[in-house]
Amino acid sequence: MNLTLRIWRQKGPEDKGRMVTYQVPDVSPDMSFLEMLDVLNERLILDGEEPVAFDHDCREGICGMCSLMINGEAHGPQRGTTACQLHMRQFKDGDTIDIEPWRARAFPVVKDLVVNRNAFDKIIAAGGYITAPTGSAPEAHSVPVPKADADAAFESAACIGCGACVAACPNGSGMLFTAAKLTQLSLLPQGQPERYTRVIGMVEAHDEAGFGGCTNIGECTASCPKGIPLNTIGRLNRDFLKATSKRAGTPGS
């Protein structure tokens, strides 16, 4: 395939960026999207030009490093797929593809398509540690956990922290990420001792980092490559209301 790429180029956080057009010929439909960018960068280097900076690591859809808006969609047109697992067979010969970084106040651009996602680290750090004793793995049935809770906790634990939920949200909210990291602990016995202090700390860190508020639009879960459901945010909200009631000393909380 012969493709036209319009890529966001920005030298640094303080520089003004712009869309730059590149022609990429002979693209195999069996290439991944990142392999196609590799081909472009090899050509740019041979021509003495600066290659396009973009985040990547495992290229297996599990690390959360790849972060591209492709034609206005987080990770591209294929649902449940990260940009590194997106293949060029999703596009047609002659297509023009716009490639941009995540757009969010909490994710400032570092260079080109690379953004700083340290705000997620601050949310995780605000959650602290669990005080449940650890050590060798316990016998599987020593702590009974209802099947529905175990499934929901595992579903939330699948979050890879890529930030697609933030990029897709018109408010730039990170609530789906925050809720996933909370839910994987709040549904299990090991997460109960710090359950309510954890939710307050992580929500406050979320707001302080500059993320927007959640208005239940649902773009976050639609763009999530791991399919984290929207009701995960509902669990966060219930825990947050209980936690703030307990902190305020509301009777019956």
Q: Is residue 107 part of a domain?
A: no
What is the domain extent for residue 179? 117-249
CA distances from 153 to 73, 190, 221 (A): 27, 12, 16
Split into its structural domains, the chain has a count of 2
Residue 98's DSSP bridge partners are: 6
Q: What is the pLDDT of residues 44-86, one digit of tens each?
A: 999 999 999 999 999 999 999 999 999 999 999 999 999 999 9
Share above pLDDT 70 across residues of the chain, in percent, rounded to a whole number: 98
Residues 50 and 123 in one domain: no
Cα 84 to Cα 196: distance, rounded to the nearest angstrom: 36
Where a domain ends, among 44, 75, 100? 100
Residues 46 and 126 in one domain: no
Residues 95 and 141 in one domain: no
Segment among 90-104, 137-151, 171-185 with least mean pLDDT: 137-151
pLDDT at residue 251 greater than cutoff 80? no
Residues 122 and 96 in one domain: no
Q: How many helices (H) and strands (E) does the chain have?
A: 8, 7
Q: Taking a C-beta distance cutoff of 8 angstroms, is the pair 70, 85 a contact?
A: no
Cα 120 to Cα 107: distance, rounded to the nearest angstrom: 9
Average pLDDT, the chain: 94
Q: Is residue 106 part of a domain?
A: no
CATH number at residue 23: 3.10.20.30
Q: What is the pLDDT of residues 88-115, one digit of tens each?
A: 999 999 999 999 999 999 999 999 999 9
CATH number at residue 148: 1.10.1060.10
* Per-residue pLDDT at 253: 52
